[in-house]
Structure 1
Amino acid sequence: MSAPAVLAPWLQAQLQAVLAQRGHAVLLAGPSGLGQYELALALARAWLCERPGPQGACGECTSCHAIDVRTHADLCVLMPETLCLTLGWPLGESEQREIDEKKRKPSRFIRVEAARQAVAFTQTTSARGGQQVVMVYPADRLNIEAANTLLKTLEEPAPGVRFVLATEAAHQLLPTIRSRCQTVQLGWPGAEEGMAWLQAQGGLNAAAAFAWWHASGGRPDMALTLSRSGLTPEQWLKLPQSLARGDWSALAEHPPAAQLDVLQKLCHDLMARAAGAPSRFFPQEHLPPPPPWRVLALWSRELLLAARSVEHPYQPGLLQEAWAARAREALNAARR
């Protein structure tokens, strides 16, 4: 069972605004870390709730409970299989069997077979005699064939069928998908509001909330993730100098994706400093002198290439050694 999360204040305000609108298809768009998934699920809950109010779902009816335990018959969740497994949404019997029998790995994209099942779902009668909802997240993980499969149903759904799509990369969606939805652009919370939320969610004091808020670049979800990463704010501040000395110990137990994210943040801040702009993730006084631009540009390209395969790294131990050595080399280039 998964208990419903309390929406962040800025998401609650946007939920109320969306609920006041009419339309059968909503696209929630914005940069990563704003809570698109949480808002999409809250919207689906409100649409299906037996006793909804201006604030959203009641959280107490049988419909809300069914969503909490991932068994609502009138909610179709369209996600990559990897994300379904992470978030606790059940796969279809045949898909689960194929994965259990190791015939294939879980897909990182929304497969056309899943899109066809969603279309078939919209053509059935509501199990509860109310609305039916299709939730698509991240919508940018629809491949072209899967997106085209949804188009006609998205444009002219059966009565009582509603769609909520959410994405952190709206520019990657087919224009035909975007044109069939009412787009809601999610906005960044203010620093004061975001840090207050971070203190409440993470049990942090004001100083720690301030440190993680700025370490995330003002991205609420990322700030919360960093606060639970096992690093202390003091360790975060010392990371640039530690990496320049070749000390990888603070990151050694973290997954490759998290390690790569730190390196990209550090490279970004050094490029900003080299260009005369303020840093975003690390305080400027904790950064080493910026290396020559050509060194930073090459390092940045290498990190972007590494990001393409970071979810399935080959020999993670050797990869960490290579990243640590490369970071040390790049960070000390200014001293040569």
Structure 2
Amino acid sequence: MNETLPPWLMRELDVLLAQRGHALLLDGPAGLGQYALALALATAWLCEAPRQGRACGGCPSCHAVQARTHPDLFVLLPEALALELGWPLDPLTQERLERKEIKPSRQIRVEATRAALAFAQTTSARGRAKVVLIHPAERLNAESANALLKTLEEPPPAVRFVLATQAAHALLPTIRSRCQRHALGWPPEQEGLAWLQQVAAQEGLTAQPDALMACWRLAAGRLDEALAWARLGMDAALWRRLPRLLADADLEVVADWPLPRQLTLLMLLCHDALVQAHGGTPRHFEAAALPAGADPARLAALWRALQQAQRSIEHPHQAALWTAAWAERVRAAFAAAGPALHSRA
């Protein structure tokens, strides 16, 4: 199982395996691999034939984790994410979803949290540790978070918790204080690009270095995000043209993309334009590709509107109307901007 982790996360794993606390909090910006690292850590704790502390990947315990059937591992996720990642839901919740009585929650419900805590009180089925993995921990609703507190403070013997989060500030301070906090680091660029090239080749995606660099820049060094851009066919030429196209309200080239991805792209453009307007260095696009002279006040207003749109982007939309409306709003925000300093096809 560990071989699926990129090398920088393997180094993080080794650091975590040396920890002896009963509750670890893996914290960092979105996309740094919190979930994959948490699952690798849980697998190593449960492994029956560990090698230098790491999971062997071949014992019955490792296979059970891979099959999502390990009796001593409870993975506590929002229902929508559990379905996406292939983790089973409890039979009652599954039945209610099938009957369309409820929709998959994006928060961690208190009923699921109580089930995890009840699991923690039982004896290990395989005679080793028991592990509760919570991801993303900031999705614990208020009732769920409060239910978790006492068990974190007085954990049963041989039970370990690993919480993964991309927003530690959103957790109750009392939860943070009961965990050993581990901050994830950013991957080194060359190492990250090499790993991206390897994964892209395995998936049959373009592995051209300039295209992967464009994806890496858009993703700001987040591997999963870089892969998402690569899967959409991002290449270096399109990456350089996008700022001007978007500022001119020409979203035709991205009109078939999922709406959340279109919104992300608009937010990246707005972010970099704001940074450049205030004298900073853009992070996602080349400075020379950005329209010059945009009004910072208009850009700030656009940013706030995009943040508001992000809260409802998963709801049903008429995609073509959404794209057209936002194309016009972006054009208006950049109306006073001049051409890019120079452009390259």
Equivalent in the alignment of 2:254:
251
Asked if 1 retains the 8 angstrom alpha-carbon contact of 2:210 and 2:235, the reply is: no
> Residue 74 of structure 2: SS of its match in structure 1?
strand
Which whole-Å CA distance do the structure 2 matches of 1:111 and 1:233 have between them? Answer: 43
User: Aligned ranges for residues 101-120 of structure 1 at < 5 Å?
Assistant: 101-120=99-118
The code of the aligned residue for 2:88 comes to: P
- After the TM superposition, which of the residue ranges 23-32 and 53-62 deviates more from structure 2? 53-62
Equivalent in the alignment of 2:284:
281
Q: CA deviation at 1:316?
A: 3.0
Aligned residues: 334
User: In 2 relative to 1, CA 307–5 (structure 1 residues): closer, same or farther, beyond 3 Å?
Assistant: farther
The code of the aligned residue for 2:326 comes to: W
2:334 pairs with 310, 313, 331, which one?
331
Which whole-Å CA distance do the structure 2 matches of 1:154 and 1:52 have between them? Answer: 26
Asked if 1 retains the 8 angstrom alpha-carbon contact of 2:120 and 2:159, the reply is: yes
- After the TM superposition, which of the residue ranges 48-57 and 35-44 deviates more from structure 2? 48-57
User: In 2 relative to 1, CA 169–273 (structure 1 residues): closer, same or farther, beyond 3 Å?
Assistant: same
Q: Does 1:9 align with 2:12?
A: no
- After the TM superposition, which of the residue ranges 300-309 and 287-296 deviates more from structure 2? 287-296
- Deviation string, structure 1 residues 306-330 (Cα, Å, up to 9, x no partner): 0111111443332122111212222
User: Aligned ranges for residues 108-257 of structure 1 at < 5 Å?
Assistant: 108-203=106-201, 204-257=207-260
Superposition TM-score, scaled by structure 2 size: 0.93
| Percent of residue pairs bearing the same amino acid type | 54
The code of the aligned residue for 1:265 comes to: L
Which whole-Å CA distance do the structure 2 matches of 1:172 and 1:5 have between them? Answer: 32
Asked if 1 retains the 8 angstrom alpha-carbon contact of 2:295 and 2:333, the reply is: no
Q: CA deviation at 1:4?
A: 6.9
Asked if 1 retains the 8 angstrom alpha-carbon contact of 2:292 and 2:337, the reply is: yes
Q: CA deviation at 1:263?
A: 0.4
Asked if 2 retains the 8 angstrom alpha-carbon contact of 1:273 and 1:290, the reply is: no
Q: CA deviation at 1:237?
A: 1.9
Superposition TM-score, scaled by structure 1 size: 0.95
- After the TM superposition, which of the residue ranges 236-245 and 92-101 deviates more from structure 2? 236-245
> Residue 132 of structure 2: SS of its match in structure 1?
strand
Gaps of 5+ in 1: none
Which whole-Å CA distance do the structure 1 matches of 2:291 and 2:91 have between them? Answer: 53
Q: Does 1:262 align with 2:259?
A: no
Q: Does 1:299 align with 2:302?
A: yes
Q: CA deviation at 1:119?
A: 0.7
Equivalent in the alignment of 2:55:
57
